[in-house]
Amino acid sequence: MNEEKASLTERVIARFGERVRATEALGQLTIECAPEHVVEIARALRDERDFRFEQLIDLCGVDHLGYGEVEWDTRNVSSEGYSRGVEGQGPGRFAWGGKTIARGERRFAIVVHLLSVARNHRLRLRYFAGDDLVPMVPSLVGTWIAATWFEREAFDLFGVVFEGHPDLRRLLTDYGFVGHPFRKDFPLIGNVEVRYDSEKGRVIYQPVTIEPRVLVPRVVREDSRYQQGRAEAQGQG
């Protein structure tokens, strides 16, 4: 099995050269390419005898905003309980506008999982949108028809536009939905809410009325550290 995977990696590198970057992790090959090459590479992976990836298993979007930044302290505290949380750093407690994309990568990526039944191989294909403000990549519907609804889902949830898609519409959210809910800077409480207006006799949209708040679970421990803290707060320490 390892020899087969290594030979697949070698065939990919030999076929596509500098147009792809191939890496192996956890027993699976991942190749990355520029979006302008993805259609050509996808068709070669599907049609050529060395690959024969007939099936598109999955296609999804990834938002790399704030990638590599953590809200947990993993070095100076124990590995148990909620004490690992860094105060003031969790979702909803910071401004996403100050976040960046790590390692100089672009923000939005598309990840495609392919299966070759004929050769019993799996392959992950990843490519980044060239523009973070209006992310746009070529559609793979012309190569694998199964990509149709997957691309609609990624468009709906991440706002990635698939150029050449025959019917690019929202799939999971409502027609009047504002924004893309899987983007990391999308507010946890949303932007709008719906309710039935008895005077108008119909459902209406209005700005969300929920107060933003973050519930942080706490663990109550009878610990000398807390007893000392209470004593100091009462002026007894």
- At 29, which CATH number? 3.30.460.80
Residue 109 lies in a domain: yes
C-alpha torsion sign, points 35, 102, 90, 208:
negative
Domain assignment present for residue 229? The answer is no
Q: Does some domain include residue 114? A: yes
SS3 73: coil
Token representation of residue 146 = 């199964």
| Domain contains 178 | no
Any domain includes 185 = no
What DSSP state is assigned to residue 96? Answer: G
Residue 1, pLDDT > 80, answer no
6 pLDDT band, cuts 50/70/90, is low
Tell me the residue range of the domain where 131 lies: 2-65+101-173
Q: Provide, rounded to the nearest whole percent, the portion of the chain with pLDDT above 90.
A: 54
Residue 79 lies in a domain: no
Sign, Cα dihedral of 103, 104, 107, 112: negative
206, 108, 39, 117: CA torsion to nearest 10:
-100
Other beta carbons within 10 Å of 154: 26
pLDDT, one tens digit per residue, over 68-119 is 766 555 566 555 555 555 555 544 556 667 777 765 678 999 999 999 999 9
User: Count of domains in the chain?
Assistant: 1
By C-alpha distance, which of 53, 74, 124, 89 is closest to 216?
Answer: 89
pTM: 0.76
15-72 pLDDT, tens digit each: 999 999 999 988 899 999 999 999 999 999 999 999 999 999 999 999 998 877 665 5
